[in-house]
Amino acid sequence: MWKKTQKSTVPEPSNPSWRLSFPHVVVATLSSFLFGYHLGVVNEPLESISKDLGFKGNTLAEGLVVSTCLGGAFVGSLFSGWVADGVGRRRAFQLCALPMIIGAVMSASTKTLAGMLLGRLFVGTGMGLGPPVASLYVTEVSPAFVRGTYGSLIQIATCLGLMGALFVGIPVKEIVGWWRVCFWVSTIPAAILALAMVFCAESPHWLHKQGRTYEAEAEFERLLGGSHVKTAMAELAKSDRGDDTDTVRLSELLYGRHFRVVFIGSTLFALQQLSGINAVFYFSSTVFKSAGVPSGLANVFIGIANLSGSIVAMVLMDKVGRKLLLLWSFFGMAISMSLQVAAASFYSSGSGSLYLSVGGMLMFVLTFALGAGPVPGLLLPEIFPSRIRAKAMAVCMSVHWVINFFVGLLFLQLLEQFGPQLLYSIFGTFCMLAVVFVKRNVVETKGKSLQEIEIALLPQE
């Protein structure tokens, strides 16, 4: 017995302090805050903008003001991998802040629709560049035991950005020209992001890929503490198979030996969007309005449900793991959609169906925020090998933006043609397909180092 006690006094290799990497992660999530802010910034002020710029009643122009930034985001995300690999993660953040500042200034000071659309296009480019780089950076600078928690901060920052945009937009109906202030405000976090990145650590994984080993060691010391540098560098060397200097061709991602992981990543993002989440966000105020809830209050409810789910996900991510959260999240979304179908079926039966519809919608947003929202952006940089990580993220995020764009574009038309029952049934079916897909294809990455995951998923030569 005494021997046993002796054995347990041998110090176990402890986890590095999370406090060292935390400030770097917080600065990186500013890009996600901006992403959320710009997604929501035109929601409330759209009416005032259309009146001031002279396109009131032109639904096409109004639609373009909302969706032009999605087009820009597609371009930004498509090139994000090449930018992040070319200039490093820190510079990529600064390059994402720049078009957001320029675009916001253009939108805030324009007198024409064309100026507004150009500004939104610039902002969109930054919006597309930010999220994949944030996912990469947070994955690469986080200690393994808190990587899931840190990854959830990206989703929370996006929620706070959306809520911030709604909050700043409150006086828009009372104060003439207040919509311009909404755009000016966004330049502040963008400027902070660009400046604060100067003082943040560069990704040691990127430095190691560049052959800058001593700098990688120095950054690991800043992020993990001196006693963990040797282990971290040994882990990096383990997965470095001498091919990191090769250029990654697009063909290698689309039908080469890395096709499977890229396929899993792209499909996860596609299913995330086909679940109908953005349709729910775009359309929630209409559903609430029919239940007699004003749109401002509806947005608050949706925001609270989104934020609550994201906080629970942050607490659970490193405890129950990514795969379980994804499974239950998609399953919960499918149940929520069936509530919506039931509500639409009994639409004539008065207030009961409206409460069911509102409840289903809030449950849908809550269960989305538990897993389907935060997990793909965290899981994908974990399962992609270091060599292809940035470019593979760029490809997957581009799929996300294309589907997001078409869902936003076609949702109202499909609703008119099919009716809510059939449309919500289609969304529910995609959620159930996602459950099956996750069960079959997704590996658990909780608590494993990036190198352990890479070696486990390594394609056979």
pLDDT at 217: 95
Q: In angstroms, what CA-CA distances link 69 with 52, 141, 150, 162, 340?
A: 20, 29, 27, 15, 30
Q: In angstroms, what CA-CA distances link 232 with 20, 144, 181, 318, 332?
A: 15, 11, 46, 20, 38
pLDDT at 242: 47
Report the CATH architecture of 20-200: Up-down Bundle (1.20)
C-alpha torsion sign, points 83, 87, 93, 97? negative
Compute the distance between CA of residue 388 and CA of residue 208 in angstroms, rounded to an integer. 14
pLDDT at 6: 44
Helix, strand, or coil (residue 1): coil
> Residue 57's CB: how many other CB atoms inside 10 A?
8
- The C-alpha R_g of the chain, in whole angstroms, comes to 23
Which positions ≥6 away from 452 have C-beta within 8 Å? 235
Give the residue extent of every domain in the chain. Answer: 20-200, 248-461
Q: CATH: 3.30.300.250, 1.20.1250.20, 3.40.50.720, 1.10.3720.10. Which one for 248-461?
A: 1.20.1250.20
Which positions ≥6 away from 342 have C-beta within 8 Å? 353, 356, 360
Helix, strand, or coil (residue 439): helix
How confident is the prediction along the chain (461 residues), in pLDDT tens digits per residue? 444 444 444 344 588 999 999 999 999 999 999 999 998 898 888 889 999 999 888 878 888 888 888 889 999 999 999 999 999 999 999 999 999 999 999 999 999 999 999 999 999 999 999 999 999 999 999 998 999 999 999 999 999 999 999 889 889 889 999 999 999 999 999 999 999 999 999 999 999 999 999 999 999 999 999 899 999 998 888 766 544 445 777 777 777 778 888 999 999 999 999 998 887 776 676 667 767 777 778 778 888 999 999 999 999 999 999 999 999 999 999 999 999 888 877 765 566 777 788 888 899 999 999 999 999 999 999 988 888 899 999 999 999 988 888 887 787 788 788 888 898 899 999 999 999 999 999 988 888 888 888 777 765 54
pLDDT at 146: 92
Q: Can you read off the two tokens belonging to residue 266? A: 């792209």
Q: Can you read off the two tokens belonging to residue 168? A: 């700043």
Q: Is it true that 20-200 and 248-461 share their CATH fold?
A: yes
Among 290, 427, 304, 423, CA closest to 353: 290
